[in-house]
Structure 1
């Protein structure tokens, strides 16, 4: 169980669920041309989650000192698992992820797509070892990689099947996947900044240059509030303009995405303790999950 917590198994399950929803709740029911069969999508999911697992391990390896201060009760490395064992796990998961990525790239006849896995693996290592210490750069990079874990289904399943005859519908559906990827990017960016606010004590002592350390808590709170407000307004406008004729889809977005975002914004105003920011972080993860589950309502959303 400790090893499963080290690789963040719940986050890996969310990645797998999002990719399965894109494949079987969006692409398959629409009847668009795709490149991946059941085995292919399983291999793509395994490749993505293996690289994400490796990233989680190397992140914890470089965060030992910080986590000792921020969350000593959640420490796994040097408590239940040696650094060498964790590093071995990092190497194994990376090799598996890149190897499976190489296979699935050739499976769809696009060997150049293999670079997606290599670049992702490299970025996760550079993020853990260096980028996360920089002002905002680390937050943006990890949020791009989260968005890529969603977009990658479109890259491998839709794009290789594009022909002059079907390119309009293929690219239209790809645009829908892109919207979900942007949603994931923005929410994850907000969540990463909130986690920096939660971990400010340990980050400050270990030389991090996160947003709350560089510009202060008050300004960071304002920036996060504005980002939340802009996201809420954008989703509200989308609901009003595109879903007003579909009460099921409209009600879902209002109750499970827009409502929780508004609630999170209110909590943020008065948040002061680590517990408050941790609660916010979990709320935003739920909003992201419910956002992805809205793919089950594709027949309403795409009208």
Structure 2
């Protein structure tokens, strides 16, 4: 169990579920060619999970003091897993994940795409050692890596299978993946800032310069509220333009009930949030928003088939 806690297995399962959902509940349901076979796509998911797991491991190694204050029950380094073992696990996960990425890049005859895996692995390490101590920049880095886990599907499964005859069709599907990546980026960015408020005591003792440490939790909460209005407005525009105008009423109801409504609930609860428990609850709400948002891709596919 300690090794599962070390790699944050719940987050990895959600990441894998998201990538599987995009391919089998969306792309596979369209009449388009895909570059990877099923087992090769499984390797892509595995590579993503391994590199993400490595990121969690190295973050745990560097966060022992902070987590001892903020989340003492979640500390595993030094409690059954030594720091040296943590580094060894990190190196093994990263090398394996990047090696799979190299293999897949050659499979699709785009060897340069292997750089994506190296850059993500490097960014996660740089985040743990440096970026997380820089106000907002660390939050952006984490949100970006999640967005890339969606975009990478397009790079490896759509782009290599694109030819002149299907270019417009493939571009539209790549665009949909990009829309979801942007949504994931915004929600995760907000969540990371909320987590900074939740962890403000431990971060302060470690000399970090997060937003709530720099300007205070109250002002940070107001900034979060303003930022949250952006995805809410964009969602309303998106629902009207793509769902209502195309008579996708099932998706419309789903998006309003399971994505937009929880975001509005988040804003309302944020207005009165004070304690660490309050912000932990808000972080969990955003995690559900992200999950339900990703699940909407399956609802869209179902609704289109239902209308047909």
Which residue does the alignment assign to 2:60? 60
Mapped to 2, the partners of 1:239 and 1:100 lie a distance apart of: 38
| Residues in 1 aligned to 2:59 and 2:109: alpha-carbon distance in whole angstroms | 33
Output aligned runs, 1:37-76, within 5 Å.
37-76=37-76
Alpha-carbon contact 2:5-2:74 (below 8 Å) kept:
no
Counterpart CA distance in 1 for 2:267 and 2:253 is 20
* More deviation, 234-243/106-115: 234-243
Once the two structures are superposed, residues 109-150 of structure 1 have per-residue CA deviations (whole angstroms, 9 ceiling, x without a partner) of 111100000111111111100110001111111111110011
Specify which of 265, 273, 276 is matched with residue 275 of structure 2: 273
CA drift at 1:28: 1.0
Conserved 8 A contact 1:55-1:124: yes
Q: Deviations over 1:12-53 (max 9, x none)?
A: 111111111111111111121210111111000000000000
Question: What is the rounded CA distance, in whole Å, between the counterparts of 2:147 and 2:273 in structure 1?
Answer: 27
SS of match in other structure, 2:33: coil
What is the match of residue 11 of structure 1? 11
Runs ≥4 residues deviating over 3 A: 299-303
231-240 vs 267-276, which moves further? 231-240
How many residue pairs get aligned? The number is 303
**Structure 1 residues without counterparts, runs of 5 or longer:** none
Displacement of 1:242: 2.3
Identify the residue that residue 149 of structure 2 maps to in structure 1. 149
Matches within 5 A, 1:75-224: 75-224=75-224
Q: CA deviation at 1:298?
A: 2.7
Instruction: Name which of structure 1's ranges 228-237 and 123-132 shifts more when overlaid on structure 2.
Output: 228-237
Matches within 5 A, 1:246-257: 246-257=248-259
CA displacement at 1:228 relative to structure 2 = 1.3
Distance 2:230 2:145 in 1: 22
**1:284 equivalenced with 2:305 (yes/no):** no
Give TM-score scaled by structure 2 length: 0.96
Higher mean C-alpha displacement, 160-169 vs 181-190 = 160-169
Aligned to 1:261: 263
Q: How far apart in 2 are the matches of 1:240 and 1:232?
A: 13
Give distance in 1, aligned partners of 2:93 and 2:239: 40
Question: Would you say the 8 A contact 1:15–1:150 is kept in 2?
Answer: no
CA RMSD, aligned part only?
A: 1.3
TM-fit CA distance, 1:207: 0.7
User: How far off its partner does 1:301 sit?
Assistant: 7.0
Give the conservation status (yes or no) of the 8 Å contact 1:197–1:277: yes
Distance, in Å, in 2 between the alignment partners of 1:243 and 1:155 is: 26
Distance 2:25 2:107 in 1: 22
Structure 2 alignment gaps of length 5 or more: none
Give the match's secondary structure for 2:36: coil
Separation in structure 2 between the aligned mates of residue 192 and residue 95 of structure 1, nearest angstrom: 27
- Counterpart CA distance in 2 for 1:267 and 1:89 is 39
Report deviation, 1:289.
0.6
- Counterpart of 2:27 in structure 1 is 27
Alpha-carbon distance between aligned partners in 2 of 1:246 and 1:127, rounded to the nearest angstrom:
40
- Tell me by how many angstroms 1:182 deviates: 0.3
* Contact 1:135–1:209 (Cα < 8 Å) also in 2: yes
